[in-house]
């Protein structure tokens, strides 16, 4: 049977269902990934299952988000994670060791394996031909316990790459070209598989960049073949023994198809306030720049940082520009230093930070009022930087370096008039550093788990009642992100293990009093537009609203991960059958759902609801196992009941 690469890997891991797009499948997960913004809750959820150790082939916990220790909360949670990892058999990457995606690719990634990560950018595992999927923390906790991961079988979007990127254009411009063409919803329900002769011109870390930001297309994940470039990367990391060659069968088919001629890709930039708002750099050239940041969860590899170091070598950043470097890992920084890049960056005025997400998640590096920030980050949602009404642009390291030197947005090809383009060759052998990873062992399994005062028990949620009468707590528009539902940043993220405290920030950007008003309503409903819940995988955007009394979200369409998280915590994810009904509902309206529990038990897809004297129809598009979880009041309730039986 002729298959594309996606079909091959899914078929090898399929435990339930058939590979028919749109139907539910269950797949076996080889690796699980947690980071500290989602991992604390996921570990609490895993502990609630009562198992003595993880059952996944490899489970890893990274501390890369909450690195600012302004009080006890983050330090306490880091100690909890370290001791829980020791107790239950997870690898633990210490604070400052690096961003989960970069470190996992360096030390653990394996071609043809599956990875389920409690971070939407787990799709960056494509760099080593790993099928990495982002999910909510509870789904990852279940995979750690050995359960399959369930998802709608995606379509496969084949993108043929031909040619080679010209000077001053890099992998970031390739994924920005995809976003320019297809916007933030273009990948919904799809796995994007790149193939063709142009793939061989891209390094493993180039592919990680493209895969990482595939999440901004709404894609389930991204996949590249495992070829000589993959082998070369793994050999340079001292792990060539895990390499296997993987490729689509000649003549295979794809559900959708596109082609990119790499020779024609130009420097591109995503303008405020969406990764999909992409323009040619030339179109916005001349805008004054106040800050540049290269690194964090994407474009933080050896190649990306060294190209900046070589561009600024012998020069200094513009006096009006604050110049930042966020290494992807301690290993990256050590190898940049070995290549002489650290001194070049320091002499150019760079502020070199510890390895971590930092400004990408709003942990410091916030720009000033009205200031323009050019970042190689994956997201620029409104306020995500920590500054209200921020002006954040997303670009390549080359474009960031050009702005660093010139003080304005500059097409990096303009630098070609002053210098040769520094094409970076990855080391034949990286300096490898695993000293900040604590590996599991039988001796550590006796470790006592340490819990700080901010770690609170999981809230208990009641099963779905027979009927519901709900007031509209808030009505929002299209492309609302999980950053809007549940903000990140150094004020909110330290509360991630305290649902009562963090729930005070639900929809905080839109209405600081939302939590009080929602609690006062009793049971409530949220109304939304298209692509509701795009962005981060953080399950707090479902868990905290449920804690406040939100029982249903009724929208035009959902982003994949957020919809799954809603089912996990007992919030019904309903969509309008007729999108025009969205305009007829206002905050404060009462929506009545009669015989709701009976309808779910019967497998109903159409759910009628009454608004005054008018009846409209909503749709419930969920799998059979999600129905069972919704009836139980959430996935943990269902699993606990099953284990008890």
Say which CATH number the domain at 537 has: 3.20.19.10
CATH number, position 146 = 3.30.499.10
Domain assignment of residue 218, yes or no: yes
31 and 180 together in one domain: yes
Contact 225, 246 (CB under 8 A): yes
259 and 272 together in one domain: no
Euclidean distance between CA atoms 405 and 358, whole angstroms: 23
Instruction: State which of 208, 241, 264 marks the end of a domain.
Output: 264
pTM: 0.95
Range of the structural domain that residue 503 is part of: 468-644
In this structure, the chain runs to a length of 645
Euclidean distance between CA atoms 458 and 462, whole angstroms: 13
Contact 270, 297 (CB under 8 A): no
Please give the backbone phi and psi of residue 27, each rounded to the nearest 5 degrees, phi first: -120, 150
239 and 329 together in one domain: no
Domain assignment of residue 428, yes or no: no
Residue 235 neighbours by CB distance under 10 Å: 15
213 and 231 together in one domain: yes
380 and 499 together in one domain: no
500 and 530 together in one domain: yes
Instruction: State which of 218, 243, 264 marks the end of a domain.
Output: 264
Six-digit token pair at 340? 């002489």
pLDDT attached to residue 640: 86
Contact 632, 568 (CB under 8 A): no
472 and 620 together in one domain: yes
Helices (H), 407-508: 482-485, 499-502
Euclidean distance between CA atoms 7 and 24, whole angstroms: 15
Our count of domains for the chain comes to 3
Which DSSP string corresponds to 357-404? -GGGGTSS-PPPTT-EEEE--S---TTTTSSTT-EEEE--HHHHHHHH
Domain assignment of residue 438, yes or no: no
Give the torsion through C-alpha atoms of 137, 139, 143, 145, to 10 deg.
Answer: 80
Q: Are strands 131-134 and 114-117 parallel, antiparallel or unpaired?
A: parallel
Euclidean distance between CA atoms 69 and 290, whole angstroms: 26
152 and 286 together in one domain: no
Contact 136, 561 (CB under 8 A): yes
pLDDT attached to residue 418: 95
Residues of the chain where predicted confidence (pLDDT) is lower than 50: none
Domain assignment of residue 69, yes or no: yes
Strand order in the sheet with 221-223: 221-223, 190-195, 155-162, 256-261
Euclidean distance between CA atoms 451 and 402, whole angstroms: 47
Look up tokens 């969920």; give the residue.
622
Whether the link from the prior residue into 273 is cis, omega within 30° of 0, is: yes
Contact 589, 565 (CB under 8 A): no
Domain assignment of residue 421, yes or no: no
Contact 601, 433 (CB under 8 A): no
194 and 285 together in one domain: no
Contact 540, 500 (CB under 8 A): no
Instruction: State which of 385, 416, 447 marks the end of a domain.
Output: 416
394 and 510 together in one domain: no
Q: pLDDT tens digit string along 378-399?
A: 999 999 999 989 999 999 999 9
256 and 206 together in one domain: yes
Domain assignment of residue 157, yes or no: yes
361 and 404 together in one domain: yes
Domain assignment of residue 444, yes or no: no
Give burial (CB, 10 Å; 0-12/13-18/19+) of 305.
Answer: buried
Euclidean distance between CA atoms 330 and 93, whole angstroms: 11
Dihedral of alpha carbons 492, 496, 500, 505, sign: positive
Domain assignment of residue 461, yes or no: no
Q: Are strands 550-555 and 524-528 parallel, antiparallel or unpaired?
A: parallel
pLDDT attached to residue 645: 73
Which of 505, 480, 507 minimizes the C-alpha distance to 491?
A: 505
């Amino acid at each position: 049977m002729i298959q594309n690469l996606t079909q091959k890997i899914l078929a090898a891991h399929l435990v339930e269902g058939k590979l028919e797009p749109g139907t539910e499948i269950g797949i076996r997960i080889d690796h699980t990934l947690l980071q500290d913004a989602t991992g604390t809750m996921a570990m609490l959820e895993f502990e609630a299952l009562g198992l003595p150790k993880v059952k996944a082939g490899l489970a890893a916990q990274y501390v890369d988000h909450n690195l600012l220790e302004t009080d006890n909360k983050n330090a306490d949670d880091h100690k909890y994670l370290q001791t829980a990892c020791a107790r239950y058999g997870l690898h633990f990457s210490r604070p400052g060791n690096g961003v989960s995606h970069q470190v996992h690719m360096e030390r653990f990634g394996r071609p043809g394996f599956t990875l389920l990560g409690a971070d939407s950018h787990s799709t960056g595992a494509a760099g080593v031909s790993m099928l990495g999927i982002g999910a909510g923390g509870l789904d990852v906790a279940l995979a750690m316990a050995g359960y399959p991961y369930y998802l709608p079988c995606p379509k496969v979007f084949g993108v043929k790459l031909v040619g080679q990127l010209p000077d001053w254009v890099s992998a970031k411009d390739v994924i920005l070209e995809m976003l320019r063409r297809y916007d933030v919803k273009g990948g919904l329900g799809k796995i994007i598989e790149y193939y063709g002769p142009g793939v061989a011109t891209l390094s493993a870390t180039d592919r990680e960049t493209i895969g990482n930001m595939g999440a901004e297309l709404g894609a389930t994940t991204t996949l590249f073949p495992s070829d000589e470039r993959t082998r070369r990367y793994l050999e340079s990391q001292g792990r060539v023994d895990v390499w296997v060659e993987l490729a689509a069968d000649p003549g295979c088919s794809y559900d959708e198809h596109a082609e990119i001629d790499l020779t024609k890709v130009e420097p591109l930039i995503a303008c405020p306030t969406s990764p999909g708002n992409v323009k040619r750099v030339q179109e916005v050239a001349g805008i004054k720049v106040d800050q540049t940041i290269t690194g964090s969860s994407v474009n933080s590899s050896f190649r990306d940082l060294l190209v900046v170091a070589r561009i600024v070598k012998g020069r200094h950043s513009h006096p009006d520009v604050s110049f930042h470097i966020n290494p992807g890992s301690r290993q990256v920084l050590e190898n940049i230093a070995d290549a002489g890049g650290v001194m070049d960056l320091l002499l150019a005025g760079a502020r070199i930070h510890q390895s971590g997400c930092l400004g990408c998640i709003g942990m410091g590096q916030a720009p000033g009022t009205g200031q323009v920030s050019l970042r190689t980050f994956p997201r620029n949602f409104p306020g995500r930087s920590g500054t209200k009404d921020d002006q954040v642009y997303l670009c390549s390291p080359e474009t960031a370096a050009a702005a660093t030197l010139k003080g304005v947005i500059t097409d990096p090809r303009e630098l070609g008039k002053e210098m040769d383009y520094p094409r970076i060759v990855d080391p034949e052998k990286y300096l490898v550093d695993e000293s900040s990873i604590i590996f599991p062992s039988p001796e550590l399994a006796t470790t006592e788990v340490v819990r700080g005062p901010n770690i609170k028990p999981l809230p208990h949620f009641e099963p779905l009642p027979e009927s519901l009468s709900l007031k509209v707590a808030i009505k929002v528009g299209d492309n609302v992100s999980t950053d809007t539902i549940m903000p990140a940043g150094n004020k909110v993220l330290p509360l991630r293990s305290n649902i009562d405290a963090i729930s005070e920030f639900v929809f905080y950007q839109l209405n600081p009093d939302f939590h009080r008003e929602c609690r006062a309503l009793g049971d409530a409903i949220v109304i939304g537009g298209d692509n509701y819940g795009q962005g981060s995988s953080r399950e707090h955007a479902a868990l905290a609203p449920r804690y406040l009394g939100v029982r249903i979200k009724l929208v035009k369409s959902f982003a994949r991960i957020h919809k799954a998280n809603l089912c996990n915590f007992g919030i019904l994810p309903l969509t309008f059958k007729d999108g025009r009904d969205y305009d007829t509902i206002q905050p404060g309206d009462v929506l009545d759902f009669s015989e709701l529990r009976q309808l779910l038990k019967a497998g109903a897809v159409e759910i009628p609801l009454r608004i005054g004297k008018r009846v409209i129809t909503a749709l419930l598009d969920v799998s059979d196992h999600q129905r069972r979880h919704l009836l139980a009041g959430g996935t943990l309730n269902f699993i606990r009941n099953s284990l008890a039986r």
